[in-house]
Amino acid sequence: MDEKSAKTNKSEHGQDGDLTRRRTMREQRAAEGHLKSQVIKRSLVVGGHKTSVSLEDAFWDELRAIAHKFGVHLSQLVGSIDAERQHSNLSSAIRLFVFEYRSHISNTDGMSPTAQAVLTGLKRLGVMH
């Protein structure tokens, strides 16, 4: 292997090449914005039981904002979603609720019965303003 090939091989497969590829991938993800949001797994206590939920950053942010708007703890909102979900796993149910809530933010009357039941569950807790 000549010197040029050795340098190319090192930059493609060695530490320098790995660092460059990681930096390039990170820059590309940043340029693409929220569409490449990282999935974050968090533990919550829901209904007295510890559970783990995996969601993208954007959904965690929106879920926290919704909980804050209604003056409830994140675990209370997730508990209400969990109590009303039909067939999907909890992470999917949360995504669907956040999407539907944000889609009908100006008129919650247009929300599905399941999403309305989540908000009703919060009212039963006596925590909604």
**Residue 93 shares a structural domain with residue 113:** yes
SS3 label, residue 22: helix
pLDDT confidence band for 87 (50 / 70 / 90): confident
User: Which whole number is the average pLDDT over 90-109?
Assistant: 88
pLDDT confidence band for 33 (50 / 70 / 90): low
> What's the CATH code of the domain at 84?
1.10.3990.20
Chain segment 35-77, per-residue pLDDT in tens: 566 899 999 999 899 999 999 999 999 999 999 988 899 999 9
Residue 129 belongs to some domain of the structure: no
**Residue 48 shares a structural domain with residue 104:** yes
The better pLDDT of the pair 129, 114 is held by 114
- The residue assigned the tokens 């991938």 is 25
